[in-house]
Amino acid sequence: MFFTGTQSSGIALSAPLRSQWQEHADVVVVEYNRYRFEGRQTAYDTYLKLREWGYPQAILDGASLGGLLATDVIDFDRAAGGMMKFAVMMQDVPMNGDDLKFSGVKALSTVWWPGRLTDLIATYLFWYLNFNPPPRDQLGTGVDDQQLAAQHEASRTYPLSGWKGEIRYIVTHDGFVRNQYVGIPLIIMQSQNDGVVKPTANRWKEVFGGATMITVPQSTHIGFVEFPDRWRTAFAAAFKALPTGW
């Protein structure tokens, strides 16, 4: 079960990796409402689908923002009596707004509520000025130019109303306590050159009572399409690190 990050398409972001994931499990990619992000509702709807489909266990994979939705799914299952078993994989996941490197974004998310008119007028210019992916010659090996173009197009056209809702969800998400999810296997993959989220691996380890840590060399923030071979190597190690039965 894959939850994507902010300002992205889950289908486009996961494109370089889905065939690898399918070697290990059924793959479900969750797409968000680009105009109105409702994280808790999305997580709840996803949990209900898992129950409806009859899965006894699931690997919850969260990229950046998506890691928080993964924890929400676990919370909904616990509220229902603990009907499923979970393992969690996280890539560059903030625990709260303090983990974002751009403090102005955090502050703005609580006072600015863009709507459809703002989307129409300002989205193109905003991302033209603020979306700056690394140049093609600085990317890793194995890049598929069509996949790269699809993800970049999704990002540079992402409505500001949806994006601000995603940031607000990070900033206002419930806090976590030590050993809150103890017993649930956790694999943390952290980009070496993450320019968006501060390193949070040690804190997530405390919440889960331990974790396997994998660093992804050279990669920028959840750079699946920009550094696909690096991430394929990371996920190969992640699947190996899962306990027996996964």
192-246: pLDDT as tens digits: 999 999 988 789 999 999 999 999 999 999 999 999 999 999 999 999 999 998 8
Residue of 140, 133, 16, 6 lying closest to 67 (CA atoms): 6
Rg (CA), the chain: 17
Neighbours of 40 (CB within 10 A): 15
CA-CA distances (angstroms) from residue 83 to 3, 68, 75, 180?
A: 21, 20, 11, 17
Which pTM does this prediction carry? Answer: 0.92
CA-CA distances (angstroms) from residue 19 to 14, 30, 73, 74, 82?
A: 9, 16, 24, 26, 30
For the stretch 129-153, pLDDT in tens is: 888 888 889 999 999 999 999 999 9
For the stretch 11-36, pLDDT in tens is: 999 999 999 999 999 999 999 999 99
Which of the pair, 232 or 128, is modelled with greater confidence? 232
- The answer, yes or no, to whether residue 107 has pLDDT greater than 70, is no
- Quickly list DSSP for 27-56: --EEPP-SSS--HHHHHHHHHHHHHHHT-S
Which of the pair, 89 or 106, is modelled with greater confidence? 89
- The answer, yes or no, to whether residue 127 has pLDDT greater than 90, is no
Task: Output the pLDDT for position 132.
Answer: 82
Question: What span, in angstroms and rounded, lies between the C-alpha atoms of 243 and 246?
Answer: 6
Task: Output the pLDDT for position 125.
Answer: 81
Structural domains of the chain in order of their starting residue, each with its CATH number = 2-241 (3.40.50.1820)
For the stretch 33-80, pLDDT in tens is: 999 999 999 999 999 999 999 999 999 999 999 999 999 999 999 999
> What band does 5 get if pLDDT is binned at 50, 70 and 90?
very high
Task: Output the pLDDT for position 106.
Answer: 58
- The answer, yes or no, to whether residue 111 has pLDDT greater than 60, is no
- Helix runs in the chain, H state only: 10-14, 18-22, 39-53, 66-79, 103-109, 116-130, 145-156, 160-172, 201-208, 228-241
Task: Output the pLDDT for position 108.
Answer: 60
Give the angle subtended at the CA of 95 by the CAs of 184 and 100, to the nearest 5°: 150
Task: Output the pLDDT for position 109.
Answer: 59
> What angle, rounded to 10 degrees, do the helices at 116-130 and 160-172 form?
80
Q: In the predicted model, what is the mean pLDDT of residues 174-194?
A: 96
Q: In the predicted model, what is the mean pLDDT of residues 160-178?
A: 93
For the stretch 156-166, pLDDT in tens is: 999 999 899 99
- Beta-carbon contacts of 90 under 8 Å, excluding residues fewer than 6 positions away, are 61, 62, 67, 70, 186, 187, 188, 189, 204
- The answer, yes or no, to whether residue 178 has pLDDT greater than 80, is yes
Which of the pair, 10 or 134, is modelled with greater confidence? 10
- Beta-carbon contacts of 4 under 8 Å, excluding residues fewer than 6 positions away, are 10, 13, 14, 29, 30, 31, 32, 63, 64, 65, 66
